[in-house]
A and B are shown apart, each in its own frame.
Chain A
């Protein structure tokens, strides 16, 4: 839109007809984009309205404002005859789960990515090919085997166990993404560090890592988000109430189709989304700025 207004200002002689003509491509573009995103926007709007009203007339007209649905934030709520665990326990667990996952994934992914990018070792090519294959593996196919392993290790019904499983499943992709960032760091820069008096490890920390910061940011964001939205593994391997996470909490609200409280469901869904939105707002800058490499541009 800015472009069109800028043009009409610098060319005041333009007639209104040609002004409209100039705008036509933009109008079409925005129109098409608007129409296609409308259903998604409406869905979120519906969620918001439904969480703050007593009921939705004909399914989409909100009736009477209320905070009843948000009661779960300060008291314990009952659903389907049983008391739900505290939302704060679930939130805390979700944070612990996603946070630990992020930390593990970044540390392992960065080291693995560096090895894949820089070190010559036998089987490197084969390893890179199979890691991708591994990622294509649906985690649902592994559920039973993972159950046996977790059970054997005494990690069943423990968040740590699921964190380990999830990390293992995510590492191949993370290592691949990080490898790409390391590939963009020129050898010369690393060598210059060695000659300027650093040990190998010091070069890594003072020169190479700062250069792949955007990559680390991107990987952290992706792994946090994927941890936050993880459902299947948590649902399968976590039973006790004190280990419940937000995704499983939501699931309990819809487990019995005859007993769904849509207002409560909407409120909890919005609450579940909130950290993701905030997180995204604060981190999108690092996601966008993806450039490494110094020195001359040839």
Chain B
């Protein structure tokens, strides 16, 4: 089912909008992640799509049909809540069969289908337990089974993995992706974990303060962040930022002056303070690149196939990767470099990206239609 939000506003007090003129289109069968820090309005958005909250203004369409006033029960959605929200007085089987019972599915078929759903999330052996007798991971699976059992048109997942340990998280991620592909359900995943969003979603909507900052594919977000906030949020380890000054086509970064191609910039030429962003992956030890930075080794974190080295450049810190066989000594000065094409520029005052191809609107529009 195609979901469209048009100019949605929602506020819980008179002072500010929790959701502020938000528009979002989710294609049929698409897996979209709402990514943003805690309190930015992700759950509120979900609950409006579910019909629990009514938007103050704006419209929500399912397959082109206005559903603002449609009751939650008539929307044919399945939802996994942040807290799982299992029914404590029912067994696992009763919990999973509950949505079917409401649809008046005959008892035998209901139990059969509930068992199938339970098998799908590998819960077949726990059907007689009460939720309080399950671990967090198992409760999460029950919630997922309950959400998919009635084969809904839309699946809403509100931070379903925030309470699982790292290993379970990876397992559940794969499981959810598999089920989503298998059933072809339009799915919205809410998360504050960028890695989760990057690995699972077809498209990601990055949110801040009730607004969508950027809505594109994971790779587009990674390669062409439109905003300082997005650049900060996406990628592990996070993008490095150094202070710089841009005027005309000259970028002053530490003691360097770098000539940039004017065509490359979306910039009026006036002197501006900028954040210069470079991904850790784009930095190499040595002086082979266009931009060279000297820094003092400050921390080394081996991660098996590589090591993350943290150097101090003046007051700022820069992270990059080094081959595991190179020995890095604490306190030593090293030189690192990157290609000029690898840098991102963000206006310090507005956060807007100053690189032209980073706001590749045409490309995104193409993806949508």
Number of A residues with CB within 8 Å of any CB on chain B: 23
Once the chains are docked, how many angstroms separate the CA of A143 from the CA of B73? 50
Given the known inter-chain contacts A186-B83, A295-B86, please indicate yes or no for A194 contacting B52, CB distance below 8 A.
yes
Q: A191 at the A/B interface (Cβ < 8 Å)? A: yes
- Fill in one digit per residue for A192-207: 1 if any B CB lies within 8 Å of its CB, else 0: 1111111100100001
Q: B73–A295 contact, CB under 8 A?
A: no
Q: A129 at the A/B interface (Cβ < 8 Å)? A: no
Once the chains are docked, how many angstroms separate the CA of A207 from the CA of B81? 16
Q: A294–B87 contact, CB under 8 A?
A: yes
B43 to chain A, nearest CB (A): 10
Instruction: List the B residue with the shortest CB-CB distance to A199.
Output: B73
Q: B87–A207 contact, CB under 8 A?
A: yes
Q: A17 at the A/B interface (Cβ < 8 Å)? A: no
- For chain B, give the interface size range: 20 to 34
Q: A210–B81 contact, CB under 8 A?
A: no
Contacts of B103 in A (CB 8 A): 197
Choose from A186, A193, A199 the contact partner of B71 (Cβ within 8 Å): A199
Q: A198–B81 contact, CB under 8 A?
A: no
Q: A295–B47 contact, CB under 8 A?
A: no
Once the chains are docked, how many angstroms separate the CA of A132 from the CA of B226? 56
Q: A294–B71 contact, CB under 8 A?
A: no
B131-139, B302-310, B343-351: which lies at the A interface?
B131-139
Contacts of A296 in B (CB 8 A): 83-84, 136, 139, 163
- Fill in one digit per residue for B305-326: 1 if any A CB lies within 8 Å of its CB, else 0: 0000000000000000000000
Choose from B77, B99, B132 the contact partner of A294 (Cβ within 8 Å): B132
Q: A293 at the A/B interface (Cβ < 8 Å)? A: yes
Q: A197–B85 contact, CB under 8 A?
A: no
Contacts of B263 in A (CB 8 A): none
Q: B93 at the A/B interface (Cβ < 8 Å)? A: no
Q: B73–A293 contact, CB under 8 A?
A: no
Q: A294–B88 contact, CB under 8 A?
A: yes
Contacts of A207 in B (CB 8 A): 87
Q: B77–A195 contact, CB under 8 A?
A: yes
Of the A-B pairs whose beta carbons lie under 8 Å apart in the complex, a sample of 20, sorted by A's number, is: A186-B85, A188-B84, A189-B85, A191-B50, A191-B52, A192-B86, A193-B87, A194-B71, A194-B72, A195-B77, A195-B79, A196-B73, A197-B103, A202-B102, A211-B88, A213-B89, A295-B84, A295-B139, A296-B83, A296-B139
